[in-house]
């Protein structure tokens, strides 16, 4: 299993979950009720799956494609370590990955 930590936008809560190799980070986040809409389901047309990767973990991810970089330009609250969760596939080398929800992420658990 691959441990992933989801940190709330305000940093007040951390949820640790386990995924499997090949799982998409967006799917894992949604399965555990994290506030990522992922409206376009990975077609890179929305940027509502934007997460902020912990600085120490960012270099462990494969580089973003040009299309992903273009979509990140449209993401609210994007930082230098922002990525699209729909483009991140879990691998054994990503164990301990920590990602934070962006400012304004809508918490669907409170709907
Ligand atoms: S789900 Fe739309 S860009 Fe990731």
The string of pLDDT tens digits covering residues 88-101 is: 999 999 999 999 99
Whole-angstrom distance, CA of residue 28 vs CA of residue 72: 20
- Whether 105 lines ligand 1, by a CB cut-off of 6 Å, is no
Whole-angstrom distance, CA of residue 13 vs CA of residue 103: 14
Q: Assess whether pLDDT exceeds 60 at residue 107.
A: no
Query: CB-based burial of residue 79 (10 Å sphere; 0-12 exposed, 13-18 middle, 19+ buried)?
Result: middle
Q: Assess whether pLDDT exceeds 70 at residue 7.
A: yes
Atom of ligand 1 nearest to the CA of 37: 1
Span from the CA of 59 to the centroid of ligand 1 (angstroms):
21
Span from the CA of 47 to the centroid of ligand 1 (angstroms):
5
Nearest to 25 by CA among 78, 105, 83: 83
């Amino acid at each position: 299993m691959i441990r992933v930590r989801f940190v709330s936008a305000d940093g007040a809560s951390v949820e640790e979950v386990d995924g499997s190799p090949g799982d998409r980070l967006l799917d894992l986040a949604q399965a555990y009720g994290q506030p990522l809409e992922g409206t376009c389901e990975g077609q890179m047309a929305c940027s509502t799956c934007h997460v902020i990767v912990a600085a120490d973990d960012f270099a462990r991810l494969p580089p973003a494609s040009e299309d992903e970089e273009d979509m990140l330009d449209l993401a609210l609250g994007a930082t230098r370590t922002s990525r699209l969760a729909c483009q991140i596939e879990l691998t054994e080398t990503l164990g301990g990955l920590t990602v934070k929800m962006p400012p304004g992420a809508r918490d669907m658990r409170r709907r």
